[in-house]
Amino acid sequence: MSHLVWTPAQLADFKVRQHREDMLRPAIVATVNASDKPKKPARKRNRAPKATVPYFQALCALLRESGVPEPACEWQFDPQRRWRFDFCWVSNRIALEINGGLFSDGRHTRGAALLKEYEKINAAVLQGWRVLTFSPQQIPQAAEAVRTLYWHQP
What pLDDT score was predicted for residue 37?
A: 56
Per-residue pLDDT of the chain (154 residues; tens, 9 = 90+): 455 666 777 777 777 676 666 655 555 544 555 555 565 555 544 454 566 677 888 888 999 998 999 999 888 988 888 899 999 999 999 999 988 766 566 565 667 888 998 999 999 999 999 999 998 889 999 999 999 999 987 6
User: Is the distance from CB of 41 to CB of 59 less than 8 angstroms?
Assistant: no
For 85, residues 6+ apart whose C-beta sits below 8 A from its C-beta are: 72, 74, 75, 77, 95, 96, 97, 124, 129, 131
Closest to 146 in 3D by CA, of 131, 135, 127, 136:
131
Q: Report CA Rg, the chain.
A: 29
Q: Choose the CATH number for 50-151 among 3.40.960.10, 3.40.390.10, 3.40.50.720, 2.60.40.420.
A: 3.40.960.10
**Domain boundaries defined on the chain:** 50-151
What are phi and psi for residue 145, nearest 5 degrees? -65, -45
Residues forming beta bridges with residue 96, ordered by sequence position: 87, 132
